[in-house]
Chain A
Amino acid sequence: MIGSFAMLVVGAAVVFLLLHAIPGDAAIAALGDSASPDVIAAFRAQHHLNDPLAVQFWSWAQAALTGDLGQSISLAGGFSTAALIAGSLPNTLFVGAYALILAIAISLAGGSIAASRHGRIEDVLATSGAIVTISLPDFWLGYVLVLVFSLGFGWFPAYGFTRPGDSLAGAFHSGFLPALAIAVPMAGILSRMLRATLLDTFRRAYVVSAHAMGFGRFFIFWHYVLRNALIPYVTAIGLQARYLLGGVVVIERVFGVPGVGSVMVDAAFARDYGVVQGCAVVFLLIVIATNLLVDTICRLLDPRRTA
C-alpha cells in the first residue's frame, strides 16, 4: 500500500518534471498566435505559470490529495480534469476490454490449435499468421479495416464511437473495428506465447505420466496443461492491458474513440500540465490495480503460491 502510494507520488513528480523540461507554453496553446504579449503575460500570471516549479507541484499535489485534480487551462479551458477523465475513461475501458476479450478469444484458439497440431499445417498457418499480425502497424490495420468493412461492405461506421452510456448496442457496433484493430496484433503476441508455453508443458514429466495413466487427451489438456500454461499468459495479458490505456491513441484517432489517451496526448501538446498530471495519476492507479489483479489470478491458478 505504502509502496503503491510512493509509486504514485514519484510517478506524478516525474511526469511533472518531464513536462516542464520540454519547451512550449500553455498560454500560447490557449491563446493562439493572434494573442499579443500582454495578454499572454496576464494568462501566465493568472494560472501561476511563472511560479517556481516546486511551488507549482506542491499546490497541485496538495489539491490532488484532497481529490481535486484541478481545471484544464489550455486543453478545454474551465472544464475540470475530473470531468475530462470521467468523459473519456469509460470509452477507453470499454474499447480496451472489448479488444482484450477479442484478443483472448483469438489467441486462446490460435495458440491451442498451433500447440496441439505442432509441426503440422495448422501450426504453420497460426504461427505465421501471428508473425504477420505482430508486424502490422496498428494504424495501417485500422485504415484497412475501414476500407474493407466500412467503405466496402458498409457494415460498420468509418468513424465515430457511440458511448456505452448512450447505447450499449451502439458501443459494441461502433467499437468493433477499433477493438479489432487493437486486438489483432495483441492476439499475435499472446498466441505465440501460449503456443510456446503449451508445447513446453506438454513435455513435462507429469503430463507424460498422466498420459501413461490413461487419462483422456482433453482431460489432460484441461487439467494439467492449460492451467499451468495460463500463468505466464495471464501475466502477459496484464502487461498488454497497460498498453491498452495509453498506447492505442492512434487507433482512437483513426476511429474517433474519445479516449483518455487522446485527452492526455492533446493535453501534453497544449502544455495543460494539470490535465496531464491527472491522467498520469489515473493511469498509475489503474496499472497498480491491474498488477494486483494479475498477481491474484496467478496465485489462484498456481496452488503453490497460495501457501
Chain B
Amino acid sequence: MSISRRHLLTGIAGAVATNAAPAGLGQYAYAAVANGQTLRAALTGFSVMNTLDPGKAAVNPEFFIIWGMFNTLVKFDAGMKVVGDLAESWTNPDPTTWEFRLRKGVRFHDGSEMTADDVVFTFERIADEKFGSPVRKRMATVTQVVALDPYTVRLKTDQPFAPLLSALTNTRTSTQIVCKKAVLAMGNEQYGRTPIGTGPWKLKEWRPNERLIFVAHTEYFESGLPRCGALEVPLIKDDASAINALAAGGLEFVNAVPYGESDRLQHMQGVTFSSVPGLNARFMALNIQRPPFDDVHFRRAVSMSINREAFVQAAVFGQALPSQGYIPKAIGWAYDDTPHEYAQFNPVRAKEELAKSKYGAGTEAVITGFPDAWWTRMIEVFVDMSNNVLGVKFRVELQDARTAYSRWTQNDGQAWSMGWIALCDPDEYLFDCFHSTGWRNFSKYNNPALDKLLEQARQELDREAKGGPLYKQAERLIADDCPSVFLMNTFSNSAVLAKVKGFEHTPYDGFGAQLAPMSIS
C-alpha cells in the first residue's frame, strides 16, 4: 500500500474533526509562590475581564476584583447591614441631603491620601456623559456632590431616594472611590488597566485571560489587613479544573463551586465548604406581548405547573431555595414569605387556569436558554414539568448566553431562562424590572398600581420598617400577574482549604472583599 499526501489529508482531516474541541473558557499558570504567604484564590467560570476601573466596570468578574482593590463610602457587612467603609458616619439633614464624614489617613496605593476631593471627583466622573459610565443613569438622581472640608462630603439628590445608600456600597455599583491624581495623570484608559485604589490589594500584574497578581497594600487603613503578603487570582473557566486544583492543593480558595460538586466537596478532607443563599433570582422571563404568554391565565397555569421543590433538586442538585418572587431571602426585611397561590405547585388549579385561557393543551412555545451547565438543566426541567402537567408543547432552544440575552433585550422570542443579581436593594429588583419605565422591563410590563407602589417605596428612607411592607405588597401584585415565572434563589457556594483562616462568606459573593482577612496556617 502506498500513501499519498492527498490520502493523508482526507484521512487526517477526519481524525482531526473527531478531536475537534468543544469550546470552554479560561486558563491559568500555576503560581510560582514567592517568599511569604501567597493566597491563591480562583475566579471560576470567567475568563473575560475588560477593565478594573470602577467607573467603567460592568461584568461580574470585574467587580469581583475591584472589591479587593477599592473601597466605597459604605459597605455591607456579612449580615447585609450597611456599615461605614471610607465614611465613618453619615447623616440625612433632610430627605434629599446626605452628609458623609470620611476617615482620616486613608492612603491610596500610590501613597497619597484619600480626601473629599477624590470622592467628589469619583461622582462627577460617573455623571459625565462623555466618560460613559454604565451606571450614569442609575446615579443620575445625585444632582450635586460637594466637599464641605477635606473630610466631609455632601450629596444632594433630586428627590428623596432611599436606595442611594445601597448604591454607595461595595456591590456592583461603580461607586468605589478612585484616585483623582492617578486618573488625571494616566488617563481613563490606562487607569482601567493599572488602577490605583485604597483597597487591601495592590495590582502588580494583569495577565489578560490568565490571572491577576497582587501584593498587599501595606498602608491599608484597616490595621492588620490584608493578612497574606500576596494574592494570585487565576481565571479558571472550567470549574471542574478549579476543583481539581483545590483538591491537589494548588489553590486555597474557589469562589464558585459547581452545584454538582457540592456534595463531593462537603466530604472532601482538608476542604471547608461554605454555602449561603445568594442575592439572585432565577426565573423564566415571559414575553407578555406575544402568544401564548400574553394571556394571564396561561401564565398562571404554567407557574402552577412547576413543582419548585422538585425543580431545585433536578436542576441544581438541591443547591437553591424554591422562590415565588424576585426579591431574594437574603434581603429579609423585604422578602415575602407568605405562600402565593400562583407560585405553588397545583396541577388541578393549573389545569383550571389553562381552561380559562385562550390557549389549551397542545399549545406550542419556544423557551430560549443557553448551553451552560445547570442553566441547560434549568430550562429542560421547566419545559418537562409544564409539558407533563398541562399537555402543552414547549420546546427548548439553546443559544449562547450573550445572544440569548440580547434577544431578550429586544423582546425577540417567547420566553427566556434568565437570572438577576442586583445591588442589594429591593428597588433594583422590582423597579428596574417591573416598573413601566424600568430599564430592564424588556417586555414592557405595565401595571399602574405596581408603578405607584414602587415609586412610593423608593422614597421611603426608613427602608426596613416602612419600605419593607411596600415591597412585599409589590411582590404579591407581580405574582398575581406572573410576567415571569420565578423558580429559585440559588446558593452561593465557596470552597476553601481548611488550613485557611479568616474566611467569612458574604451573601453578595464579594470575592475580592472576602480575601483580606484570610491567612494560611
Contact = CB atoms under 8 A, between A and B. Distances in A.
Interface string B440-461: 0000000000000000000000
A180 B137 CA distance: 52
Nearest to A170: B32
Given A31-B59, A134-B15, A77 B192 contact: yes
- Residue of A72, A88, A262, A268 with highest tally of chain B CB at under 10 A: A262
A235 B8 contact: yes
B51 A77 contact: yes
A218 to B, nearest CB: 24
A275 to B, nearest CB: 10
Given A158-B247, A253-B27, A247 B406 contact: no
A160 B209 contact: no
Nearest to B9: A239
B501 to A, nearest CB: 23
A143 B240 contact: yes
Contacts of B22: 250
A249 to B, nearest CB: 5
B244 A151 contact: yes
A36 B189 CA distance: 21
A159 B241 contact: yes
B48 A189 contact: no
Given A158-B244, A250-B21, A23 B406 contact: yes
A253 B248 CA distance: 17
Contact of A74 (B13, B28, B50): B50
A157 interface: yes
A72 B193 CA distance: 12
A193 B405 CA distance: 47
A249 B22 CA distance: 8
Contacts, number: 234
B184 interface: no
Contacts of A134: 15
B214 to A, nearest CB: 17
Contacts of A219: none
A36 B439 contact: yes
Contacts of A200: 1-3
B238 A253 contact: yes
Nearest to B57: A32
B44 to A, nearest CB: 11
Given A158-B245, A189-B12, A247 B21 contact: yes
A276 interface: no
B25 interface: yes
For chain A, the bracket of interface size reads 35 or more
A103 interface: no
B81 interface: no
B154 interface: no
Nearest to B238: A253
A122 interface: no
A269 B59 contact: no
A25 B241 contact: no
Nearest to A77: B50
Interface in B177-207: 189-190, 192-193, 207
B12 A258 contact: no
Interface string A70-107: 00111111110001100110000000000000000000
A167 B12 CA distance: 35
Contacts of B399: 23
A193 B8 contact: yes
B7 to A, nearest CB: 8
Interface stretch (A38-46, A49-57, A59-67, A112-120): A38-46
A163 B51 contact: no
A256 B402 contact: no
Contact of A271 (B19, B25, B210, B402): B402
Contacts of B60: 32
B393 to A, nearest CB: 25
Interface in B24-76: 24-32, 47-51, 58-60
Contact of B134 (A34, A78, A150): A34
A251 B22 CA distance: 10
Given A35-B134, A197-B3, A253-B26, A248 B403 contact: no
Q: Nearest 5 A-B pairs (CB), nearest first?
A: A160-B30, A77-B50, A76-B208, A159-B245, A158-B248
Interface of A: 22-25, 28-39, 42-43, 46, 72-79, 83-84, 87-88, 134, 137-139, 143, 146, 150-151, 154, 157-163, 166-167, 170, 174, 185, 189, 193, 196-197, 199-200, 232, 235-236, 239-240, 243, 247-259, 261-263, 265-266, 268-271
Given A30-B58, A253-B26, A253-B27, 10 more contacts: A39-B134, A74-B48, A157-B245, A163-B29, A166-B32, A253-B237, A256-B241, A256-B245, A258-B28, A266-B26
